[in-house]
């Protein structure tokens, strides 16, 4: 049975999910034995794809859902939401 974990998050950094932030998020997903997705306004995309993440056009203040499926789903969701809450380690 595949475990699925979901958690809401708010994009907090000033520039939103721009290229550098999307790259950081995508690279993070490869560390886990789980498939990670980001959902916004009913559209779900593969979080390991920078292009897919950019197509969401997630701006500051947008609510997203982090979804992970797999044996390390919980750890993946924890790490991705922590990165989002840390504003992708950006100053603003």
Would you name the residues annotated as active-site residues? 18
Strands (E), 2-62: 4-10, 35-40, 43-46
Tell me if residue 65 falls in helix, strand or coil: strand
Cα–Cα distances in Å, from 77 out to 37, 41, 59, 74, 92?
10, 19, 20, 5, 23
């Amino acid at each position: 049975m595949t475990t699925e974990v979901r958690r809401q998050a708010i994009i907090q950094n000033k520039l939103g999910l721009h290229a550098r932030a999307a790259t950081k998020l995508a690279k993070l997903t490869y560390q886990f034995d789980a498939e990670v997705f980001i959902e916004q306004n009913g559209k779900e995309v593969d979080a390991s794809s920078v292009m897919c993440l950019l197509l969401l056009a997630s701006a500051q203040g947008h609510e997203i859902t982090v979804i992970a499926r797999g044996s390390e789903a919980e750890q993946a969701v924890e790490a991705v939401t922590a990165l989002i809450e840390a504003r992708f380690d950006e100053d603003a």
